[in-house]
Amino acid sequence: MRLSLQTLRLLHVFLEAPAEPRYGLELMRRTGIKSGTIYPALHRLEDEGWLRSFTEELDPVQAGRPARRLYALTDAGAAAARAAAEPFQTPAPAPTLKPRTA
């Protein structure tokens, strides 16, 4: 699957805590991507099997708002996201060697 810069930014947020589900508004705030771009990207990632989505179960205390649609990386999605992000990783600097003293 070909990934846009926006999709890579979206995946980066998921990779920060791969087991943690995210919701759309949080992802928009974290990435700066607008809803007209983020939701189609989430749906494409779900269609490809990279994400799964589900509706949160609300606690009675939180009943003052509608339930959120949550998105979480699948195991295959986490592996694919890491592989897709790898070319953009900055390699760690090489350690500096100190000369031996006699």
The pLDDT value recorded for residue 33 is 94
Whole-number pLDDT of residue 86:
79
Cβ atoms of 69 and 53 closer than 8 Å: yes
pLDDT confidence band for 1 (50 / 70 / 90): confident
Which amino acid belongs to residue 83? A
| Residue 93 predicted with pLDDT over 80 | no
Q: What is the pLDDT of residues 9-68, one digit of tens each?
A: 999 999 999 999 999 999 999 999 999 999 999 999 999 999 999 998 887 666 777 888
Domains of the chain: 5-85 (1.10.10.10)
* Matching residue, tokens 């939701």: 39
Place of tokens 């799964």: 52
Residue pLDDT, tens place only, 63-78: 777 888 999 999 999 9
Question: Tokens 């992000």, residue?
Answer: 85
Instruction: Output the pTM of the full model.
Output: 0.78
Closest of 82, 27, 28 to residue 50, by C-alpha: 82
For the purposes of burial, counting CB atoms within 10 Å of the CB of 23, is it exposed (0-12), middle (13-18) or buried (19 or more)?
middle
pLDDT score recorded for residue 75? 94
Distances (CA, A) of 25 to 1, 35, 36, 70, 87: 25, 8, 12, 10, 28
Question: Is the confidence at residue 89, as pLDDT, over 70?
Answer: no
Instruction: Identify the residue with better confidence: 54 or 94.
Output: 54
In the block, residue with structure tokens 């995210």? 22
Report the candidate in 98, 80, 81, 100 with the shortest Cα–Cα distance to residue 15: 81
